[in-house]
Amino acid sequence: MTKRAKDSEAKDISMADIFGDGGLLAKRHQTFEFRRGQLEMAEIVEEAFAKHQHALIEAGTGTGKTLAYLLPAIRSGRRVVISTATKSLQEQLYHKDIPFLQKHFAPDLKVALMKGRNNFLCRHKVHLMAGQPVLKGIDEVDWFAQIRDWEKLTETGDRAELNFLPDDADLWHRLDARSDTCTGQKCDEFQNCFITSMHQRAQDADVIIVNHHLFFADLAIRQDDFGAILPEYSAVIFDEAHEIEDVASDYFGRGVSSYKFDELSRDAEQTLKLLSIDAPTLRKAITRMRERSHSFFEFFGSREGRHPFEPAERATFVEQHREPYEDFTTALKRVEAEMAALPAKPEEIVGLARRTMEARRELTFLLESDEKNYVYWFERRGRGVFLAATPIDVSTILREKLFDQFDTAVLTSATLAVAGHFDYLKHRLGLDMVRERVLPQEFDFREQAILYIPERLPDVRDASFPARAAEEIVELLEITEGRAFCLFTSYVQMRDAFERVKSKVDFPLLLQGTAPRSVLLDRFKTTPNAVLFATASFWQGVDVPGAQLSCVIIDRLPFAVPSDPIVAARVRALKEDGRDAFAEYQVPEAVLALKQGFGRLIRSRSDRGVLAILDNRIRRMRYGRIFFESLPDYTTTGDLADVERFMQNS
């Protein structure tokens, strides 16, 4: 072991001594079961650290991959960043897995949990707001009183500790420590700040636990030499690594939204009120900025979804709406000028002026730039409009900024390989020299699951498919007594199926969009025989072990929408390079998405259930073979009677 491990245990103890049948873990973990794949993964990760190399490991549910990468990371003696897909997985690592390892293997191990700044309370804002007439309604008065008491007791300032505050409470947004409103070392509370404490813990830590968003936010900042969020480290482990291309694309892209300008206006007005700054011309300029923003973004129309916004379209848009566009940018410049003209400028005002200038420059870039390596698009989402420029290809960026800079990166997930190899992922991420392994499955999928592909349904492109698919869903739900996820590739298809099914079954039906995701998931887990109709956000990262989830129904093979601007641009780039975009990009993407969706069902050795894909192209089309080669060895049928017999025997 390293200096952080128990003195009584030698460094030359092997991974087999720890993870093997009758090894150290078996003696110290009450529920430990020997898993050959877990031992193999631990040995691969240890070798990657020892030889300073990268590793790609597909480890299915039940492998025990968390301990398989944590123990080698701890033994390496290096500072390691663990990057997860979600905050909930961060919490699990920090509050469950790490304490176990500290107790039994590494008592001196120092670990830091890092989250985005908006997860933490700003003490300065709490003190400013106390006694000010800025709270809205009796609920906010009560919440603020509880937060003020909590601020005196909490060691972390992490919102996760507040179980009384609703997810959508606007009050937290006015109290959080996001960088937009932070004055840094010039703040009176800097030494006592929760963000400062978090960074100090990270500087002293051997292992730093972050999520993908924070990791790539840091990597993008390092790119521009603006500083860094994370301290120096030499190795990184990505858990749920299948998500990193999308997250990296966001953080190496450019973007602005109507909400950003609303937020800027609110922050500016609240700052003037809290600091008791009497500036009527600035207040008027802020009001004008908000009005001009609302007027300008209305020109993007009301059609929901993501739409291409390439140079020719943007030039036409700017020409057609030149007057409101110039009125808007002039209003932004006026706010900047009024802030600059204030005789005494607190740091909060300096920060607001900088934010206004940056937002104006970003807006100008997104409407007028012609940089070729981006795909430009806009999205209408409810009342908000988002403008963005996304890199068409992040592989070069990741190779240069990540894989060439750090000598050890371990990427693991249950869904990384397509037809048993990693060619697709390596190409998308810019990975060259890397150790690769698809670990054997821990579950007996032939016994635990049946895959149903109805032969009697028409092609998904047939006009009769929605009605026939709804009938099939009803029959499946009757067999499984509800207890199902019905997963769709679009909101339109989800809502259509929900309306067709709801009057034909007696089971409690839940619909994505009617409540926050976490609330819907809790309701599903606690409501007998519940059925959840959902889209992309429930295809991954959702864990419902046991009989409560006994069926996963997927309406269509999850091909990305070809008209999506990012998908279209990446397809076009591959075609221009003389490559087969469908085979090399669209099919592999769909395969990994399907593996994620199906992965919701079998989460333990005792789970049993039905997987249904209503899209029989998986049987009829040549590319279907790739899907089957990528999925576990399920028992497969096209006969509903087989499904019924399977459930009767469960």
CATH number for the domain that contains residue 552: 3.40.50.300
* Structural tokens at position 637: 């049928």
Based on the fold, state whether residues 484 and 620 are members of the same structural domain: yes
End-to-end CA distance of the chain: 45
Task: Tell me if 423 is assigned to some domain.
Answer: yes
Q: Is the pLDDT of residue 611 over 70?
A: yes
Task: Tell me if 8 is assigned to some domain.
Answer: no
Overall residue count recorded for the chain in this entry: 650
Closest by CA position to 5, among listed 64, 72, 90, 53: 72
Tell me, what CATH number does 301's domain have?
A: 1.10.275
Based on the fold, state whether residues 480 and 595 are members of the same structural domain: yes
Which of 404, 422, 438 is a domain's end point?
438
Number of Cβ within 10 Å of residue 156's Cβ equals 16
Task: Tell me if 6 is assigned to some domain.
Answer: no
Based on the fold, state whether residues 292 and 259 are members of the same structural domain: yes
Taking all residues of the chain, what is their mean pLDDT, rounded to a whole number?
Answer: 92
Task: Tell me if 265 is assigned to some domain.
Answer: yes
Give the C-alpha separation, 492 to 148, whole Å: 44
Q: Is the pLDDT of residue 266 over 60?
A: yes
Q: Is the pLDDT of residue 1 over 80?
A: no
Closest by CA position to 235, among listed 436, 435, 52: 52
Closest by CA position to 80, among listed 106, 62, 104: 106
pLDDT of residue 501: 97
pLDDT of residue 2: 43
pLDDT, greater one: 370 or 294: 294
Amino acid at site 245? E
Amino acid at site 586? Q
Q: What is the mean pLDDT of residues 613-630?
A: 95
Percentage of the residues of the chain whose pLDDT score is greater than 70: 98
Based on the fold, state whether residues 466 and 526 are members of the same structural domain: yes
| Range ranked top by mean pLDDT from 220-224, 273-277, 300-304, 328-332 | 328-332
Give the C-alpha separation, 275 to 263, whole Å: 18
Based on the fold, state whether residues 307 and 169 are members of the same structural domain: no
pLDDT of residue 224: 53
Closest by CA position to 255, among listed 179, 319, 309, 218: 309
This prediction has a pTM of 0.91
Task: Tell me if 584 is assigned to some domain.
Answer: yes
Give the C-alpha separation, 346 to 626, whole Å: 61
| Torsion over CA: 39, 42, 48, 50 (sign) | negative
Q: What is the mean pLDDT of residues 30-53?
A: 94
For residue 121, what is the DSSP state? B
Contacts 24+ apart (CB under 8 A), 351-357: 351/180, 351/181, 351/182, 351/183, 352/264, 352/267, 352/268, 352/271, 355/180, 355/264, 355/267, 356/264, 356/289, 356/332, 357/332
- pLDDT tens digits, one per residue of 185-210: 888 889 999 999 999 999 999 999 99
Sheet containing 207-211: which strands, arranged edge to edge? Answer: 111-113, 207-211, 80-84, 235-239, 408-413, 54-58, 434-438
Based on the fold, state whether residues 101 and 235 are members of the same structural domain: yes
Assess contact for 538 and 512: CB atoms under 8 A. Answer: yes
pLDDT of residue 609: 94
- pLDDT tens digits, one per residue of 414-452: 999 999 999 999 999 999 989 999 999 999 999 999 999
Based on the fold, state whether residues 63 and 86 are members of the same structural domain: yes
pLDDT of residue 152: 93
Strand 54-58, strand 80-84: pairing: unpaired
Range of the domain at 518: 445-648
Number of Cβ within 10 Å of residue 214's Cβ equals 25
Based on the fold, state whether residues 455 and 355 are members of the same structural domain: no
Based on the fold, state whether residues 123 and 218 are members of the same structural domain: no
Which of 347, 362, 387 is a domain's end point?
387
Run of H or E including 242: none
Read off the pLDDT band of 537 (50, 70, 90): confident
Based on the fold, state whether residues 39 and 100 are members of the same structural domain: yes
Domain total in the chain: 4
Task: Tell me if 73 is assigned to some domain.
Answer: yes
pLDDT of residue 223: 55
Task: Tell me if 10 is assigned to some domain.
Answer: no
Give the C-alpha separation, 601 to 251, whole Å: 32
- pLDDT tens digits, one per residue of 108-161: 999 999 999 999 999 999 998 887 777 888 988 999 999 999 999 999 999 989
pLDDT of residue 487: 94
Task: Tell me if 5 is assigned to some domain.
Answer: no
pLDDT of residue 10: 45
Read off the pLDDT band of 8 (50, 70, 90): very low
Which of 196, 221, 239 is a domain's end point?
196
Based on the fold, state whether residues 258 and 124 are members of the same structural domain: no
Based on the fold, state whether residues 597 and 532 are members of the same structural domain: yes
Secondary structure class of 449 (helix, strand, coil): strand
Q: Is the pLDDT of residue 267 over 70?
A: yes
